Structure 1
Amino acid sequence: MSTPIIDEAAKVFTDPTSYADEPRLHAALTHLRAHAPVSLVDCPPYRPFWSITKHADIMDIERANDLFISEPRPLLATAEADDMARAQLDAGMGLRTLIHMDDPQHRVVRAIGADWFRPKAMRALKIRVDELAKIFVDKMANAGNECDFVQEVAVNYPLYVIMSLLGLPESDFSRMLKLTQELFGGDDAEFRRGTSLDEQLQVLLEFFGYFSALTASRREHPTDDLASAIANARVDGEPLSDVDTASYYVIVASAGHDTTSATIAGGLQALIDNPDQRKRLSDNLDLMPLATEEMIRWVTPVKEFMRTATADTTVRGVPIAEGESVYLSYVSANRDEEVFTDPFRFDVGRDPNKHLAFGYGVQFCLGAALARMEVSSFFSELLPRLKSIELNGQPELIATTFVGGLKHLPISYELR
């Protein structure tokens, strides 16, 4: 067995500002992949964990979903936040989404929404997705020749898609946008509700309050949308608990929005920064499926998940004890030199592209097909109308340890 390595570079995972400083982040990740692919991180206020930075190791861990489970630590949080989340769950009021669950419960609860993301449902939804893509490209055209692409387009278009899927009224848009940005913006000074856990907890409680009212409405008057499917779902003949129902809504509304908006914004910046690739894609829109996957790899909006060992084991020869947690760095895996040729080159024709941005195995992202459709539809609408585009200021990334990407992308452009 290898001697456990403690590499100072792995502390990058506990610093939310590292994801807002990509050169610093990727320098650390490149070092870790080469010299400490499994490293112990002991950095208060977080409990210790093992960082995993190689693509192959992450896939092996995701496959072994009985040996490495999501409970009780599905994502990186401070010890205080972990304890508060556990206390809330014990009190019957905490967030418990699909990412918190393991089989067999995970499989049963996942099935509730699965039909809404299958090919038949996606074909039906594509009409609305294409319509919204055109609406937002038209808005860019009507706005003149400059905008903050993130705040005026990228955060809005995917949220309208999710609200259409759930059947939520347009009048609730502003409220949902604010709550989703606050939920994933807890580490960013611009978006967080406050600095204390109690202040940030209020965001979750507001989500729960909104979706509790929605559940009651859909149970009394079911409609043909995903919200009704969740509200009226039964497991072993019993309806979902209030916590599980609200949690299901929260993960669809927030994760389904912020991840896609990050990909669209980051994808556009990549096309601006790589005009040869933009021309290549514009000249051959048949490359769009490959380009979509490359944008998702490039941005990797979900930065990590964590798993906890159910027995003593090893990863790359390093002993991991029962009860210890591993941190799966998807950002690192998606730049792994052993998997991707020239991984720091943005290539709209990259094939194969075995990125792990949607996870892998039983926890593979439920909404992956929808995210791909939204990205593809938007750029299929934008690129044929785009005469020119360039940065019109400094792009800014959100500070995070979980989900995120650009928060500002000032651009100037000319559309047909």
Structure 2
Amino acid sequence: MSVAEAVDHRIPQHLADKLAEPHAYATDEIHEVYRWLRKNEPLGVAKIDGIDPFWVVTRHADILEISRQNALFHNGDRSPTLTTQQVDQRVRAMMGGSPHLLRTLVQMDAPDHPKYRLLTQAWFLPQNIRSLDERIRQIARTAVDKMAATGGRCDFVKQIALHYPLHVIMTILGVPEEDEPLMLKLTQELFGAADPELGREQASRPEPEPGKEFDFGVIKDFMDYFHALSERKRKNPTDDLGSLIANAQIDGQPISDFEAMSYYIIVAAAGHDTTSSSTGGAMWALAERPREVAKLRADLSLIPGLVEESIRWTTPVKTFMRTATEDTEFAGRAIKKFDWLMLCYASGNRDESVFDDPFEFRVDRQPNKQLSFGYGAHVCLGQHLARMEMRILWEEMLPRLKSVSLDGEPAMSDAVFVNGPKRLPIKFEMA
């Protein structure tokens, strides 16, 4: 029995529909869905009009186990993000049968994945990023000074959280500082394609479009920009990640232009968006919890714990899809070859069997087995850099931040794949 035929473990329709509704991920609705699924149907089947049926994986242990079995559950055989049948058909028609608009590490499996990952892996190893400490610290100090200069009121996301990690990754990539606003705009349009405020095409739509996770025009604009950058880096290579990608080789041959552009896009977009989301999520949580701020100010050694908790709490990458490569039994379910599975990271990060009081934000949570960076071969390449950036920012900010509270209504972006705070008005007092 394939996922399309499964009836015994079908998720109630009103809950299944929420899994493909971008706005549900901007509210607590998705967590209520996940809570029910973890308790009643932790590996159930979602059947939604216009979308191929898929298994929904909500338990922490199951997400880790599927992530560990990379040969059995592939990223590249079908779209690794939830998409409609209509969009899938359009992409395949454009891409010669491939379900992918890009060919990044996200869309690859072995043997290509480890080869392409190795190209840039050294840049993100802990021993290498340590050399960036003072460089990043200066960027963090500038960000904190900018916040202080607002006079005690700001939109923390729009004025601080979005720009700090953006400047860090663009510096590493070799993108000129004057182009950072364009990179931010394209990233928001890429990941916020379904959001009525962020998506390029959404202004004309009465409601967000289910399955609308990428915008073709945005990807073209990204590629046009990086094609020109790549040409410059090939002619005049410098000591940056952009030059490495422009001149990269696999098995002694230059990588294709399409693969190079894809690599640029994933580094440029994912390299800052998820970090800014976790940073914004942390400030949102702290603005509502003065006791946690007091804990941190009294003991700055809790900052690494704040970083881990903010990553768990926000879970910027909400879902990834995997495809079974053969018939198998998993968690008591008969999974068939080519079945599609949704890994629900935000659910795993609220799993009551793993986290004590998972709906509480605790800067001193121990242990914290958050799985936001993934696991196995596809674990986030930039996880050490992301942790370092957040740690340094809080090290520079918390000694100066006497108090903080909300100063209006915050908001999350509408997206099934990657989302985070898009608006966070705060008022604060600096020491």
With normalisation by structure 1, the TM-score equals 0.96
1:283 lines up with 2:289 in the alignment: no
Q: Distance in 1 between matches of 2:338 and 2:196?
A: 33
2:260 paired residue number? 245
1:36 paired residue number? 41
| Residues 178-197 of structure 1 aligned to structure 2 (within 5 Å) | 178-195=185-202
For structure 1, the 5+ residue unaligned runs are none
- Whether contact under 8 Å (2:194, 2:213) holds in the other structure is no
- CA displacement at 1:264 relative to structure 2: 0.3
1:108 lines up with 2:112 in the alignment: no
From 36, 40, 45, the counterpart of 2:50: 45
Q: Distance in 2 between matches of 1:91 and 1:360?
A: 29
- CA displacement at 1:199 relative to structure 2: 9.7
- CA displacement at 1:120 relative to structure 2: 2.6
1:371 paired residue number? 386
Q: Distance in 2 between matches of 1:333 and 1:406?
A: 20
- CA displacement at 1:81 relative to structure 2: 2.1
| Aligned partner of residue 342 in structure 2, secondary structure | strand
Q: Deviations over 1:144-184 (max 9, x none)?
A: 11011111111111100111110111110111111011000
Q: Distance in 2 between matches of 1:198 and 1:344?
A: 27
352-361 vs 85-94, which moves further:
85-94
Q: Distance in 1 between matches of 2:213 and 2:326?
A: 34
Q: Deviations over 1:202-260 (max 9, x none)?
A: 11001000101111111111100000111111001111101100000100110111101
Q: Deviations over 1:42-96 (max 9, x none)?
A: 1122211110000111111111111110022211111222223333433899311
- CA displacement at 1:3 relative to structure 2: 6.9
Code of the aligned partner of 1:82: D
From 140, 144, 149, the counterpart of 1:137: 144
Q: Distance in 1 between matches of 2:97 and 2:178?
A: 33
2:354 paired residue number? 339
- CA displacement at 1:293 relative to structure 2: 0.6
| Aligned partner of residue 174 in structure 1, secondary structure | helix
1:164 lines up with 2:171 in the alignment: yes
| Aligned partner of residue 143 in structure 1, secondary structure | coil
1:98 paired residue number? 105
From 38, 54, 76, the counterpart of 2:82: 76
Q: Distance in 2 between matches of 1:237 and 1:89?
A: 26
1:382 lines up with 2:382 in the alignment: no
Structure with higher helix content: 1
Aligned length: 415
Q: Distance in 2 between matches of 1:400 and 1:124?
A: 35
For structure 2, the 5+ residue unaligned runs are 206-211
RMSD value, Cα: 1.8
- CA displacement at 1:7 relative to structure 2: 1.6
Q: Distance in 2 between matches of 1:120 and 1:323?
A: 40
Q: Distance in 2 between matches of 1:258 and 1:345?
A: 24
| Residues 142-291 of structure 1 aligned to structure 2 (within 5 Å) | 142-195=149-202, 200-291=215-306
Q: Distance in 1 between matches of 2:40 and 2:101?
A: 39
Q: Distance in 1 between matches of 2:231 and 2:166?
A: 23
| Aligned partner of residue 208 in structure 1, secondary structure | helix
Q: Deviations over 1:374-395 (max 9, x none)?
A: 1111111111101221100011
Q: Distance in 2 between matches of 1:379 and 1:406?
A: 18
User: Structure 1 residues 215 and 91 mapped into 2: Cα distance closer, same or farther (>3 Å)?
Assistant: farther
Query: How much identity, in percent, do the aligned residues show?
Result: 46
2:59 paired residue number? 54
Q: Distance in 2 between matches of 1:88 and 1:214?
A: 25
Q: Distance in 1 between matches of 2:18 and 2:427?
A: 33
Q: Deviations over 1:102-153 (max 9, x none)?
A: 0110000001110110123211122221111110110011111101111111
2:208 paired residue number? none
- Whether contact under 8 Å (2:213, 2:416) holds in the other structure is no
- Whether contact under 8 Å (2:290, 2:403) holds in the other structure is no
- Whether contact under 8 Å (1:288, 1:380) holds in the other structure is yes
2:209 paired residue number? none
1:86 paired residue number? 92
| Aligned partner of residue 48 in structure 1, secondary structure | strand
| Aligned partner of residue 131 in structure 1, secondary structure | helix
Code of the aligned partner of 2:363: V
From 360, 364, 378, the counterpart of 1:349: 364
| Aligned partner of residue 95 in structure 2, secondary structure | helix
1:4 paired residue number? 8
Code of the aligned partner of 1:4: D
- Whether contact under 8 Å (1:181, 1:191) holds in the other structure is yes
User: Structure 1 residues 143 and 198 mapped into 2: Cα distance closer, same or farther (>3 Å)?
Assistant: closer
- CA displacement at 1:314 relative to structure 2: 2.2
Q: Distance in 1 between matches of 2:343 and 2:215?
A: 25
| Aligned partner of residue 42 in structure 1, secondary structure | strand
1:299 paired residue number? 314
2:420 paired residue number? 405
| Aligned partner of residue 306 in structure 1, secondary structure | strand
- Whether contact under 8 Å (1:112, 1:233) holds in the other structure is yes
| Aligned partner of residue 199 in structure 2, secondary structure | coil
1:317 lines up with 2:301 in the alignment: no
